[in-house]
Amino acid sequence: GESVGLHLPTLSVQEGDNSIINCAYSNSASDYFIWYKQESGKGPQFIIDIRSNMDKRQGQRVTVLLNKTVKHLSLQIAATQPGDSAVYFCAENTQGGGQAGTALIFGKGTTLSVSS
Amino acid sequence: ETGVTQSPTHLIKTRGQQVTLRCSSQSGHNTVSWYQQALGQGPQFIFQYYREEENGRGNFPPRFSGLQFPNYSSELNVNALELDDSALYLCASSRDGGNEKLFFGSGTQLSVL
């Protein structure tokens, strides 16, 4: 599968490959993270979230890994499909996502292109 | 369960005008947050409304204001529009003032000419 060590704005993969999208977050106090998928002309769509008391969380075809030591988050998509083509954003928050009035801070997006 | 809905989907205004954007929160959600997304960028937090009051604000000038109604729906108002206000405006809803599992609407694309 295709993977990147540092954030890259674009990632191109073949259908069926595994994709890994990386994100570096900025605030060492952040303890809640969300991955979003955004298709052209649409709002961000919730994919998966993770709290800082976990290193890994799995969903349907997706896995999020969290490395708090280096403030790094990754999203792994298994058996990537053309419908996965979109811009992917990571977002961070403090207080476990429960603090009223705080913002989700979004990272730089990665455009995933899947060719068949 | 109904999702977050926004209206209108597209809007064209001229510089100096005022605009009102509307949002209905997801069923069961009592908190609405507004974000601005410029082309090619990630969303940026404008403010949050909870219990019908502004409850946290990002780095946006006072000409960006809002309201929340008893049914938890919300409005975003922007006065004295500037060209740089052209962006996708996103509404997101959640429970009890937090950001857990924040769900977004499809947005309003505002063009300022």
- The number of C-alpha atoms within 13 Å of A38 and in the hemisphere containing its C-beta is 31
Kindly tell me if the per-residue pLDDT of A77 is higher than 60. yes
Tell whether A59 is within 8 A of chain B (Cβ).
Answer: no
DSSP B83: G
Kindly tell me if the per-residue pLDDT of A101 is higher than 80. no
- Nearest CA to A67 out of A17, A99, A20 is that of A20
In the predicted model, what is the mean pLDDT of residues A67-76?
Answer: 94
Amino acid A94: pLDDT? 76
pLDDT in tens, A28-71: 888 899 999 999 989 999 999 999 999 999 999 999 999 999 99
Amino acid A28: pLDDT? 86
Kindly tell me if the per-residue pLDDT of A3 is higher than 90. no
Amino acid A8: pLDDT? 78
Tell whether A9 is within 8 A of chain B (Cβ).
Answer: no
Adjacent-strand bridge partners of A105: A92
B43: its two tokens: 């969303």
DSSP B71: T
In the predicted model, what is the mean pLDDT of residues A86-90?
Answer: 96
CB within 8 Å: B33 and A42: no
**How is chain A classified by DSSP, letter by letter?**
-B--SS--SEEEEETT--EEEEEE---TT--EEEEEEE-TTS--EEEEEEETT-SEEE-SSEEEEEETTTTEEEEEESS--GGG-EEEEEEEESGGGT-TT--PEE---EEEEEE-
Q: What percent of chain A lies above the pLDDT cut of 70?
A: 88
Mean pLDDT of the residues in chain A:
88
Q: Which residue has the higher pLDDT, B80 or A96?
A: B80
Kindly tell me if the per-residue pLDDT of A108 is higher than 90. no
- Nearest CA to A31 out of A105, A108, A109, A89 is that of A105
Best of A10, A45, A102 to substitute, by most chain B Cβ atoms within 10 angstroms, is A102
pLDDT band at A5 (very low <50, low <70, confident <90, very high): very low
CB within 8 Å: A103 and B58: yes
Task: Give, for all 113 residues of chain B, the pLDDT tens digit.
Answer: 569 999 999 999 999 999 999 999 998 899 999 999 999 999 999 999 998 999 889 999 999 999 999 999 999 999 999 999 999 999 999 888 877 788 999 999 999 99
Q: Which residue has the higher pLDDT, B112 or A95?
A: B112
Amino acid B84: pLDDT? 97
CB atoms within 10 A of CB A67: 11
Tell whether A103 is within 8 A of chain B (Cβ).
Answer: yes
